[in-house]
Structure 1
Amino acid sequence: MEREEDPLWYKDAVIYQLHVKTFFDSNGDGIGDFTGLISKLDYLQELGVTALWLLPFYPSPGRDDGYDISDYHNVHPDVGDMADFHRFINEAHRRGLRVITELVINHTSDQHPWFQAARRAPSGSAKRDYYVWSGDNTKYSGARSIFTDTEGSNWQWDEEAQAYYWHRFFYHQPDLNFDNPHVFNAIMHVMRFWLDAGVDGMRLDAMPYLCEREGTNCENLPETHAVIRRMRAELDAHYPDRMLLAEANQWPEDVREYFGDGDECHMAFHFPLMPRMYMAIAREDRHPIVEIMEQTPDIPENCQWAVFLRNHDELTLEMVTDRERDYLHQTYAVDPQARLHLGIRRRLSPLLENDRHRIELMNLLLMSMPGSPIVYYGDEIGMGDDLQLGDRNGVRTPMQWLGGANGGFSTADPEQLFLPPIADPVYGFAAVNVERQRRNAYSLLNWTKRVIAIRKAHRTFGRGTLRFLRPGNRKILAYLREYEGETILCVANLARVPQAVELDLSQYKGRVPAELMGRSAFPPIDVLPYQLTLSGHGFYAFRLATDVMAPAWHEERQVLPDLAVLVLVDSGWGTLAGDHAENGPRNQLMAERARTQLEREILPGFFRSQPWFANRTDVEKFELGETHEWVIERGGWLLAIVILTLANGEKYRYAMPLALAWEDEGESRLTTLLPATLAKVRRRARLGVLFDAFWDDAFCQAVISNMEAGLSLAFERGQVRFHGTSAFPGIFREGNAMNVTRTVSERGRLLVNMGDRLILKGYRWLLAGVHPELEMSRFLTEKTNFTHIAQLAGTVEYVNAEGECSTLAILERYAENQGSAWAHAQDYLARYLDDCRTRQMRPIDARHAVYTALAKTLGLRTAEFHQALARPDPAGAFGMEPVTPGDIAEWVSNMRAQMDLMYTLLQAELPRLPEAARAAAQDLLAARPRFYRRMTRAAVADMDAMKARCHGDYNLRQVWLSNNDFLITNYGGGLERAWRERRWKHTPLRDVAGMLFSFSEAAAAALAHVTAEYPDAGPALREQTDNWQALATDAFFKSYRRAMKEHPLFPSSPATVETLVTLFLVEKTVAAASHALAQQLATVDIPMRQLIRLMRPKR
């Protein structure tokens, strides 16, 4: 994977900080080296980081772990040579990894040739002036001493030079003199040397201290910024895609100056944020983080903060108040050994007492705050530290790869290692190592990979704005990140115990919070405060989405809007039914006005807001047709038919049962009914609402009671007939308390669940004739022994004056299930692919044994379903018939029409197709004549086959998993087809092809979901999904064929089976390609490539 050519690459970077000598030893000398680092680049690529920050690897006496440089133009022989470095750069870039190195220009080692020449050169000479000298040690007295515990002064006497030299750090690190132009030129030569070698970025160490002036604190001086601007100008002129990172341990307003006007450093560390993140968790209060971020000034558009939790130095506490420093010492460094200079020398995990919840929370805060995050090597596995090692060495121990000798870092004897590895029982390499965590899907390592992938998938984290919310609960930190139309809400519980919070998100009303870690949809946002509960140290990151559906289980609870008000002038339904007997002449006009208002204003708006209504734009008129008032002891309803008149004069009829609810019966109920409310109503002083009666529990129970009794209701010009089937007895008892819930199906149909015993489905569009789903359900329930369906328990039908019958509702027995087979497949593949990605597994058939067993069961149930539908039927609606040449010709003709449409779309969209799809499109266009020839051969083929009623829209979404078995649902054909077509007989192999195609869809959807977060994993995971698909389809089809082998419905000729299955697979794939082209989907290449494979001649 080549690195992305983006001059602002550092704004989206996830940086991994490492020391070459600590990472991996390739030659067994006890010291890590570049060759060892190269061998571990695949690990770093797999981790997901995008840039590597290398600590100094130059020749050095090693008195400050490499920051005391004695040769700027070479590699320390302990870690390799320049050839090794060049090979490392090439290998890193080949994997898309940027490389950041150290440019330590404030000082050198006192062993550097420049200093050795300077101390010997005459005072005032150019060579002497490479460094800062003085005859006494009182100059620059306003400058503080940084290492107060080891360095009493910033001046050091040199016997050979007979003068004091200036050092802001250790005495053996003399500061360079940037007032000498030769020094600047020499440093520019160093910078160009490493940039020419391929380095992508340079960390400028100790930048605030470059220049000195009397009467100042010698920090952040204008002269220092002038030096940086000259360096940046050189960089921009010759290396436009490179980056400078300033190390300035200062307050935000001072660090801001190191960005200049976008003409100094590209990046700078945000030192004050880091200790305040620890403080916020310790105090369980968001104030430290909010305060420092709100004090942080805006920076130029082309600049970026660098944020971190830990690094190679102590956890610096310079940029906190004395009181805050005392608090952090008392909280995180009770042991005096853990303190160094003004900071704490501990790694992340020991700092947080190895508390996984706090470790995860801190990392999530890091990844979601403004800036580019830096991960310190070993923190991704929770490495510990060794306080017995001096200075900062306790956090610079060897990387722990294995549980064996030396933690897998080196094959040298332990006493030869540059530092001993951690060996204690908690953090030692036997307990904490890469190999062990790679195999554990729930390890900190694999969790970190996922978090980094999410961070990379959303540029908003690196480039977006930050806005804090201020809920009443101060233990909750909530903030919004926004960029180019994407809004991400982050909510963190800083407390160790669970917390609840209410957030004002009203400006995002209607958006669905889609949680990024688990990819779960939460209930949509409304005008009311949004409530969340979080576990101790819990964290949520939500994309506030406009393209995600609310959870299926969510029931809308809304404030009653400003609806039209209907005035009812009678005590019953006469106002709307047109019966004004009790109104008298005085109220006749008001009743007619209410009816007109209902037809012209209320019904159009209500219909167009309902998921069951195909929102046609050519409806010219809505009017009430026949109405019938149905009154029983428990309530009264108006059974109405609404007539829609189209622009062409065609009329459609819809069933619309209506009910009334009143405020004095409970205002909360009116809010519950809002999704089904047509209008407000007033009857004198009494207020209420008019709503869809399917939302009235009493109405639904009355419907079921009438089914049981087999009653009918007479209309003026027709009747409603209720009928119970043989499956009805014993499943309903009137008066029994039931928990009634309602959901909307994928097809937009309202489903009323009566106490997990019955499902009432209402049909709105009244079409003359037997409803295909009802007809098939009744046949399977009453005429066959096939039980793997939701059995039909009852029906409601409307019969008009001409005797034409239309279905109003059906009642099915509730069947316990675990959701659709599609959802199960997606969940299964998500878990499996996550395991594959984290454990780098190869495809092995045995891993899918449980799933293939399910696929075999599905194949068996599909065969039994088809055999049941093929049973003899005296009425002729079911049973078998021979497939005729006319049938085959018609199937091929339909296929050809669909293919014509696809090719028309393909030629129109070709210039706009993604690069990945264009090659497949060209192949598809070139293969067009071959496709048509093959279809022509199929049209004239002599096929010995039978046909019968089939499902018509068979796929994993129409099958429900139930106790390791399956229920087949929604039979009767696709909703886009006319009723007459949905009752046609067909070869069952059309259903089989639909299911085979559904398995391929499931594999593609699961792969797309994972590769959206982990694009680099695509090729390896595609091999896994291809393997799963092959196993699932093979298990399904072989099981189906075995069960159907002796049945006359199944063709005896293997060639016929192959021809028909291929034909209908092509049909499904062509439809998918047409949809992808019409919607301009990024995944358009998938169905095109599948089509090419399908039409490839078999060998």
Structure 2
Amino acid sequence: MAAPWWKGAVLYHVYIRSFLDTDGDGYGDLPGVEAKLDYIKSLGVDAVWLSPIHPSPDRDWGYDVADFEGVHRDYGGMDAFNSFLNAAHAKGLKVLIDEVLSHTSDEHAWFVESLTGGKDGEKADWYVWADPKEDGTAPNNWLSVFGGPAWAYQPARRQHYHHKFLRQQPKLNWRNPQAAEAALSVLDYWLEKGIDGFRLDVAGTYLHDETLTDNPPVPVAERTRHDWSHAGNLQRHFHDSNLPENEQVLEVIRRRVEQHGDRFVFGEFSEEEDRCGGYLAPDVGLHSGYTFVLLLQRKLTPAFVKAHYETLGRYPAHWPTISFANHDVVRTVSRFGGSEATPELAKQLFALLLALKGTTIIYQGEELGLPQAALTRDQLRDPVGDLYWPYSGGRDGCRTPMPWDSAEPNLGFTAGESWLPMAREHQGLSVAAQEADPDSPLAFARQMIALRKGSSALSRGELAFLEAPDPVLAFVREDGAERIACIFNFSDNPAFPTLPELEGGELIATRAGDAELRGGSLGLSPHAAVFVRLP
């Protein structure tokens, strides 16, 4: 039986608002994504994952949906989406959309009716409402990811509604059968239009504890820098989200999606890493998913990579999704390299991303080795960035527009004034500049994707770590008779590991940095990524 198309596939994540603007309003749009489909196809990827496309007041830039059956006017509306979808399919690219079903905008018609229709109205319980405590304060201690209590008081109902994120993002009540069916019907609507699947935002948050039990704190001694970064991270989110029975909702979602044929649904799990594997198995939960463990890590070490796969290994049926970057976190080369965010490091990190077991997600610009953009407070558009300034620059530094051509105004992104400033750090890293350089990160990215696509071991094989001295990471990907060793030097200095498993192996031409193989002895340049075909 053939493996499903998504197992080992490479997905390209497009943040539409920052990809390409075709009408001069400063916002990227769907005609812009369609215009660059040949570029996306040239990378060798299998599918495009689009950031949220629906109409939204943009309090959280599309993650606050006001109409699940529409397409944002900034992006060109439904006609533009249909044109893009047909064009992508004609080029052999599958299309996935970002769907936000845990919450809506407070401007969505469902919430307006829930708020104004009274406690006995048809949609009264479509959202999570609760009475205040006797002293008028919030029903419990749940905290919002974006800071402060996760409750907002509404005098019209004399109740609070729950919001895990912004106050303008009320939580949909998946325990109400009518609300759950309405959300599931959203999936049907888009699948019937011909899309190939979904990425589900915050997929661990559909269910809440109906008793509204307080969340326990993260013990002070166990708190990391990440825990302290946002107040909401100081709690274990066991009762407002991450409930074990959330698995049942995810299974219903997956089976609903599978009714439409060979489609793919994967989820984002932002907290409680161990739950991710429990939500994902062949017959339970979603097809795949990822946590923020790889996305938030600041230092790349062999021990860290091994520990992550040890966690995944507790769920052997789980097929992971692997991502180093997205629209929420510091860009990969800056996060792991800091001021030493060099093209050589970018190549190594891209090679590692493609070599690890899982379905791979590339965030737009990652193939160019783009570093994080440094923005001033007056340039920010992200509510999180403004809230936590100057402790955190927010998420806008990874959302700046794609640099297409250094010789063009606004690096070829727009003829107008871009919604976020063009990053000065990207001036010499445009697509046009890298197309002309055979040693560029872009050229390497294409080679690496081709290597991955041409190898069943790298695409779908199992992963087993080899014993290697720090700072070298080594593992073997194996599928049937094909075995490929993947070796990475995480140091700024050369490394000379001896790995007996490499005896009789052959260096593969695609590599980052320099390498020399003599028997089981390997010489590696700084930040090298090397692949050896084993007998």
TM-score band by shorter chain is 0.7 to 0.9
Q: How does 1:538-549 map to 2 (within 5 A)?
A: 538-545=528-535
Map 1:1067-1082 → 2, pairs under 5 A:
none
Aligned to 1:234: 256
In 2 relative to 1, CA 350–469 (structure 1 residues): closer, same or farther, beyond 3 Å?
A: closer
**CA–CA distance in structure 1, aligned partners of residues 292 and 332 of structure 2:** 16
Contact persistence 1:515–1:522 (CA under 8 A): no
What residue in structure 2 maps to residue 381 of structure 1? 368
Distance in 2 between the 1:6 and 1:408 partners? 42
SS at match of 1:89: helix
1:200 aligned to which of 193, 196, 199 = 196
Offset of 1:231 from its aligned partner? 1.7
C-alpha displacement at 1:270, in angstroms? Answer: 4.0
Give the conservation status (yes or no) of the 8 Å contact 1:383–1:432: yes
Q: Report how far residue 263 of structure 1 moved.
A: 3.1
Q: Give the 3 Å change call, closer, same or farther, for CA 518–247 of structure 1 in structure 2.
A: closer
Aligned AA for 2:397? G
The separation in 1 between residues aligned to 2:369 and 2:516, in whole angstroms, is 32
SS in 2 for 1:502: coil
CA distance in 1, matches of 2:156, 2:188: 33
Do the aligned partners of 1:512 and 1:522 also contact (CA within 8 Å) in 2? no
Contact 1:57 1:76 in 2 (8 A): yes
Counterpart check, 1:305 vs 2:315: no
Against the structure 1 CA distance between its residues 128 and 7, is the aligned structure 2 distance closer, same or farther, given a 3 Å change threshold? farther
Deviation at 1:251, TM superposition (A): 4.2
**2:231 corresponding residue in structure 1:** none
| TM-aligned CA distance change 1:503 to 1:103, over 3 Å | same
Q: CA deviation at 1:524?
A: 7.8
Alpha-carbon offset, residue 124 of structure 1:
4.1
Sort the Cα spacing of 1:465 and 1:128 in 2 relative to 1 into closer, same or farther, 3 A.
same
What does 1:625-704 correspond to in 2, within 5 Å? none
Deviations 1:421-468 (A, max 9, x none): 12x2xx243x22111111111111111111111111112123211111
Q: 1:271·1:307 contact (CA, 8 Å) conserved in 2?
A: no
Q: Letter of the 2:507 partner, please give it.
A: A
Q: Distance in 2 between matches of 1:376 and 1:144?
A: 29
5 Å matches for 1:837-848? none
Say which SS state the counterpart of residue 467 (structure 1) adopts.
strand
Change (3 A) 1:32 1:191: same
Assess if the C-alpha contact under 8 Å between 1:19 and 1:55 holds in 2: yes
User: Deviation of residue 199 (structure 1)?
Assistant: 1.2
- Please say if 1:532 is aligned against 2:531: no
Whether the aligned pair in 2 keeps the contact of 1:52 and 1:97 (CA below 8 Å) is: yes
Corresponding residue to 1:183 among 175, 179, 184: 179
Q: CA 1:85 to 1:192, structure 2 compared with 1: closer, same or farther past 3 Å? A: same
Matching residue's letter, 2:375: L
Taking a change above 3 Å as real, the CA distance of residues 143 and 260 of structure 1, as seen in their structure-2 partners, is farther
1:273 is matched with: 294
Question: For the Cα contact (< 8 Å) 2:132–2:139, is it kept in 1?
Answer: no
Quick check: 1:517 aligned with 2:510? yes
Contact kept in structure 1, 2:253 and 2:286, CA below 8 Å: no
Q: C-alpha distance in 2, partners of 1:273/1:30?
A: 32
**d(CA) in 2 for partners of 1:230 and 1:163?**
31
- One of 412, 415, 423 as aligned partner of 1:411: 415
Q: Cα gap change, 1:518/1:492 in structure 2, threshold over 3 Å: closer, same or farther?
A: closer
Q: Secondary structure at the match of 1:12?
A: coil
Residue aligning to 1:997? none
> Which residue of the partner structure matches residue 18 of structure 1?
14
Deviation digits for residues 855-886 of structure 1 (CA, Å, limit 9, x no counterpart): xxxxxxxxxxxxxxxxxxxxxxxxxxxxxxxx
Alignment deviations for residues 362-399 of structure 1 (CA, whole Å, 9 cap, x no partner): 11111111112211111222334133232322221111
Contact 2:96 2:198 in 1 (8 A): yes
CA distance in structure 1 between the partners assigned to 2:346 and 2:477 by the alignment: 22
AA at the equivalent of 1:515:
I
2:92 aligned with 1:96:
yes
> Do structure 1's residue 348 and structure 2's residue 325 form an aligned pair?
no
Structure 2 Cα separation of the partners of residues 201 and 440 of structure 1: 35
Distance, in Å, in 2 between the alignment partners of 1:463 and 1:16 is: 18
Quick one: distance in 2 between partners of 1:449 and 1:523?
24
Matched, 1:440 2:428: no
Mapped partners of 1:124, 1:459: distance in 2: 57
Matched, 1:225 2:247: yes
Structure 2: where are the runs of 5+ without partners? Answer: 214-237, 386-394
Residue-by-residue CA offset, 1:617-674 (whole Å, 9 max, x unaligned):
xxxxxxxxxxxxxxxxxxxxxxxxxxxxxxxxxxxxxxxxxxxxxxxxxxxxxxxxxx
TM-score normalized by structure 1? 0.43
Query: Structure 2: which amino acid aligns with 1:225?
Result: E
Q: Which residue of 1 aligns with 2:401?
A: 398
Stretch of structure 1 that moved more, 438-447 or 243-252: 243-252
Does the aligned pair in 1 maintain the 2:54–2:70 contact within 8 Å?
Answer: yes
Secondary structure at the aligned position of 1:492 is classed as: strand
Letter in 1 for 2:252: R
Between the aligned partners of 1:291 and 1:43, the Cα distance in structure 2 is 36
Q: Name the residue aligned to 2:233.
A: none
What is the number of residues matched between the two proteins?
485
Would you say the 8 A contact 1:349–1:359 is kept in 2?
A: yes
2:267 aligned residue: 246
Q: Deviations over 1:704-741 (max 9, x none)?
A: xxxxxxxxxxxxxxxxxxxxxxxxxxxxxxxxxxxxxx
Q: TM-score, normalised by structure 2?
A: 0.85
How far is the alpha carbon of 1:523 from its aligned partner?
6.4
Q: CA deviation at 1:300?
A: 5.9
- 1:163 matched residue in structure 2: 159
In the superposition, relative to structure 1, how do residues 297 and 229 fare at CA in structure 2: closer, same or farther (>3 Å)? same
Counterparts of 2:3 and 2:282, CA distance in 1: 17
- Decide which of 357, 364, 367 is 2:344's aligned counterpart: 357
Please report how far the alpha carbon of residue 518 of structure 1 lies from its aligned counterpart in structure 2 after TM superposition. Answer: 6.1
Distance in 2, matches of 1:122 and 1:504, equals 72
What residue in structure 2 maps to residue 154 of structure 1? Answer: 150
Q: Is the 8 A contact 2:347 2:369 kept in 1?
A: no
**Alpha-carbon distance change, 475 to 522 in structure 1, aligned in 2, over 3 angstroms:** closer
Q: Distance in 1 between matches of 2:123 and 2:246?
A: 21
2: distance between equivalents of 1:93 and 1:470?
Answer: 44
Answer yes or no: is the 8 Å Cα contact 2:127–2:171 preserved in 1. yes
Q: Distance in 2 between matches of 1:99 and 1:124?
A: 41
Q: Name the Cα RMSD after superposition.
A: 2.3
Residue matched to 2:465: 468
Match for residue 370 of structure 1 among 340, 353, 357: 357
CA distance in 2, matches of 1:218, 1:140: 12
Take 1:474 and 1:350, find their aligned partners in 2: how far apart are those partners?
22
Residues in 2 aligned to 1:205 and 1:361: alpha-carbon distance in whole angstroms: 29
Quick one: structure 1 residues 401 and 523, their matched pair in 2 at CA, closer, same or farther if it must change by over 3 Å?
A: closer
Quote the residue 1:1028 is aligned against. Answer: none
CA contact (8 A) 1:142 1:217 kept: no
The aligned counterpart of 1:262 is 283
- 2:302 aligns to what? 286
Rounded to whole Å, the distance in 2 between the matches of 1:140 and 1:474 is: 50
Q: Assess if the C-alpha contact under 8 Å between 1:496 and 1:537 holds in 2.
A: yes
| Contact 1:252 1:296 survives alignment (8 Å) | no
Structure-2 change in CA distance of 1:419 and 1:112 (3 Å) = same
- In the alignment, does 2:489 pair up with 1:502? no
Q: 1:480 to 1:113 in 2, by over 3 A?
A: same
Are 1:262 and 1:300, in contact at CA under 8 Å, matched by a contact in 2? no
In structure 2, C-alpha distance between the alignment counterparts of 1:117 and 1:489, rounded to whole Å: 58
CA distance 1:100–1:478, shift in 2 (3 Å): same
Pair member with larger Rg:
1
* Distance of 1:75 and 1:376 partners within structure 2: 22
1:260 is displaced (CA, Å) by: 4.0
